[in-house]
Structure 1
Amino acid sequence: MMKKLIIGVLTLGVLYILIASALMYTTAHKKPISNPDYIMVLGAKVKGKVPSLALKYRLQVAAKYAKKHPNIPIILTGGQGKDELITEAEAGRRFLVNEGIEESRLILEDQSTSTFENFQFAKKQADIKGKKGVIVSNNFHLYRSSIIAKRLGYDMHPLAAKTPDVVKVKVVVREYAAIIKTFLFDRAK
């Protein structure tokens, strides 16, 4: 009896990983819309005052896309962790300004500490009601981010940045647990 239970649990675990992986892959490979009303870059770790590689990849993709859509605002999200000297949003602002993006286009949401809060707090900073946005994050993160965005009333379309090889295994494994957390808890209040 115990052997069947263990096999059943392992089978369910493997099925979950396969399905979640397929959903992460397909979301990350969707083509972004060509006529957004805004771009939103989700925050990621800052090392001192420098964007982590994950955030840098997000910002590079956002800068390239923003240059093709020069008249739309860009929402930068992310607060300041205990070991960060500036907020993730501020690190994003500095990076994009350095890439030639006009500072007047940038809206900073600098209080959030999670993906859910990125979306929740950004609604207070920018008028997104009835507007289409492009969400920029690393490829592993876009499926869960899209779920949260939809639950909070966003009309969001994914734009993937690559995931740094040095953290890929760690963040993808963590993302499997985060997806379950999102299904159970991340809801508008």
Structure 2
Amino acid sequence: MKIKFLTIFWLLLAILSFLYGVLIAGIRSGTKFFLIWFLIGIIFLSFALVVHFQVWATISKTLKFIFLGLVIIVSGFMIFTLANIFTHFNDQAKPQLDYIIVLGAQVKNNAPSKVLKFRLDQSIDYLYQNPATKCIVSGGQGENETQAEAIVMQAYLIKHGISQERIILESTSISTKENLENSYKLIEESSSIGIVTNDFHVFRALKIADHLDMENVYGLAAKSTVFYLPNNLLRECLAYFKFLIF
């Protein structure tokens, strides 16, 4: 009975992973990250087969020890990273910052994607409430984009009533690190800074800012779509691991 239950459990997780991967692929984000859900599905399917055919009992103690050790290490890292991500999930910075940096994201048909629109809408709210704050829009042109993200972001802000004189363009960056590094060069010394990005991304953005020795920096979290949150959280965990290693 236990074997049957575990087989069905891992099989269901495999099916859900495959289905989620298909749905994520359907949004055409411009990346191949959705493929990781097919890999996860294959791993879960392998677990189901191992349980069903009772392969675990035939594996040596050494291999079991190594496998369980890896599971504990990976799980521990994921839990630690997710805990930190959720700690900054609702960061709202402080009022009257000198600058906010809006991190770029994909644009489609010369318009902000939903993820980027959330960031821009959060920026608009903050800029209306803090009229002395300047705004740096940061983002270059991706391979599947017809113009730089910063240009699209600037147009969106102006359309929604933000004066062009308050907006500074940084249109060469192609990564979060470059967004912050290049934007920081445009900021006056000793200024207070808010980093505007989606809730799941704030933690890593602040870590990168700290790595770049940026001072007086605060997170300003924009909302995100709940359905895509598992994909975004997994991507952030892997990106944070890459940040720590490299």
With structure 1 as the length reference, what TM-score do the two structures score? Answer: 0.92
Task: State the alpha-carbon separation in 2 of the partners of residues 88 and 82 from structure 1.
Answer: 11
Q: Does 1:165 align with 2:223?
A: no
Partner SS state of residue 196, structure 2: strand
Alignment gaps of 5+ in structure 1? none
Map 1:16-165 onto structure 2 (within 5 A). 16-124=77-185, 126-154=186-214, 155-165=216-226
More helix by share: 2
Query: What is the CA deviation profile of residues 111-147 of structure 1, one whole-angstrom value per residue up to 9, with x for unaligned ones?
Result: 00000000111123x2242111111000111111001
Task: State the alpha-carbon separation in 2 of the partners of residues 2 and 181 from structure 1.
Answer: 27
Q: Does the CA-based 8 Å contact 1:28-1:159 persist in structure 2?
A: no
Partner SS state of residue 91, structure 2: coil
Query: What is the CA deviation profile of residues 83-133 of structure 1, one whole-angstrom value per residue up to 9, with x for unaligned ones?
Result: 111211111101111110001000010000000000111123x22421111
Question: Cα RMSD over matched residues?
Answer: 1.3
Partner SS state of residue 160, structure 1: strand
What is the total number of aligned residue pairs between the two structures?
184
Task: State the alpha-carbon separation in 1 of the partners of residues 218 and 88 from structure 2.
Answer: 9
Q: Does the CA-based 8 Å contact 2:92-2:221 persist in structure 1?
A: no
Structure 1 runs of 4+ with >3 Å offset: none
Query: 2:212 corresponds to which letter in structure 1?
Result: L
Give, in angstroms, the shift of residue 55 of structure 1.
0.2
Query: What is the CA deviation profile of residues 2-29 of structure 1, one whole-angstrom value per residue up to 9, with x for unaligned ones?
Result: 1011111111111111111110011222
- % identity of equivalent residues: 33
Higher relative contact order (Cα pairs below 8 Å, separated by 6+ residues): 1
Task: State the alpha-carbon separation in 2 of the partners of residues 58 and 118 from structure 1.
Answer: 14
Query: What is the CA deviation profile of residues 8-61 of structure 1, one whole-angstrom value per residue up to 9, with x for unaligned ones?
Result: 111111111111111001122234112311111000011120111100000000
Give, in angstroms, the shift of residue 167 of structure 1.
2.9
Q: Does the CA-based 8 Å contact 1:133-1:157 persist in structure 2?
A: yes
Partner SS state of residue 28, structure 1: coil
With structure 2 as the length reference, what TM-score do the two structures score? Answer: 0.72
Q: Does the CA-based 8 Å contact 1:48-1:86 persist in structure 2?
A: no
Task: State the alpha-carbon separation in 2 of the partners of residues 48 and 30 from structure 1.
Answer: 31
Q: Does the CA-based 8 Å contact 2:96-2:133 persist in structure 1?
A: no
Alignment gaps of 5+ in structure 2? 1-61
